[in-house]
Amino acid sequence: MRSYEVMYGLFAAFALELLVGSWPAVLGIFAIGAAGVLLLRGKRWTGLVFAIGVSFFVIQSNVHAQVVTTFPYDMTHWVESANGNWIYATVQSENSVAVINAHTLQSTLVPIGSDPTGLALSSDGSTLYVANDGSNFLGVMSTATNAVGSPIPLGSGVNPYDVQTGTNNRLWVLTGGPNTPGVIEQINATTGASTGPNAGGAYDGDIRISPDGNTLYYGDYGLSPSSESKFNVSGTTPSTLWTASLGGNGQEVQLSHDGTLVAFPEGGQSTSIYQTSSMLVLGTIPGGSPMTFTDP
């Protein structure tokens, strides 16, 4: 059951339940206290968690959220195991991955590289891939033992910012670097060798992939106007299915667990929620900072 989400920069929390038109209930407004990380737990998570200014909002219906615990370090990206037993989060200040037991909330830090950012699990959940923005390789960790294996090199001057697991033993990696323009490249998950053309040029941001591994979404970070894209990556040669510019100061992208909704936040402005099948806007939420979907 997906009942935990990691958020950063908060200690104190309070809940407020409101109804917003046809949207589900806005259940929680979480105030910033001091630097740290917290976990939120709900009896039935179905919705969206995102940050607006100095507050966190939890949008969902019929849920009672509460602060469960806090951590003494900031976490920037996270992913949950398919069985809901483990949460993996990158801790840049420690150059590590936090391995969190979702039942006991005990955590272990595993050194993984330099300035880790995005991360993804293999399709069978046995391997964790970690983009190390401060180096030129992907960290590789066994989820059975937390042992770090041989890294996947990406080449001199290539810094990976985010990674997603694709089909046919492929990884999609958002890269950049001081001497290399940003691209979304596809590589072999074992050797790191290229497996085909890039999905396109890119800037800092996030990539997310559909549950079947056939559709990739990209949202930039910090550009004005912001850029968002949808790619068909089912075959060796990716193609652009949709692209748009939405205001300014893009704040990455998030995909719902079932792949039916995608959100593109714009810093300090709004968060647009799209239906992935049509890429039609279902609604817009005021404010636009990094967030994540949650579900049961």
Per-residue tokens: 19: 């109804």
Q: What is residue 5's predicted lDDT score, i.e. its pLDDT?
A: 38
Q: What residue ranges do the domains of the chain occupy?
A: 1-72, 75-294
CA gap 166, 189 in Å, rounded: 9
> How far are the Cα atoms of 16, 128, 251 from residue 219, in angstroms, in the given order?
30, 22, 7
CA gap 114, 103 in Å, rounded: 29
pLDDT (tens digit, 9 = 90+) per residue, 30-55?
333 333 444 444 433 333 443 333 33
Taking alpha carbons only, the member of 51, 15, 13, 17 closest to residue 34 is 13
pLDDT (tens digit, 9 = 90+) per residue, 184-216?
999 999 999 999 999 987 777 889 999 999 999
CA gap 173, 151 in Å, rounded: 14
Q: Which of 21-25, 59-63, 100-104, 177-181 has the lowest mean pLDDT?
A: 21-25
| Single pTM value for the model | 0.80
Domain 75-294 of CATH type 3.40.50.9100: no
pLDDT (tens digit, 9 = 90+) per residue, 209-223?
999 999 999 988 777
> How far are the Cα atoms of 28, 68, 204, 264 from residue 249, in angstroms, in the given order?
25, 32, 11, 11
Q: What is residue 65's predicted lDDT score, i.e. its pLDDT?
A: 52
Per-residue tokens: 130: 């970690």
Residue 93 three-state SS: helix
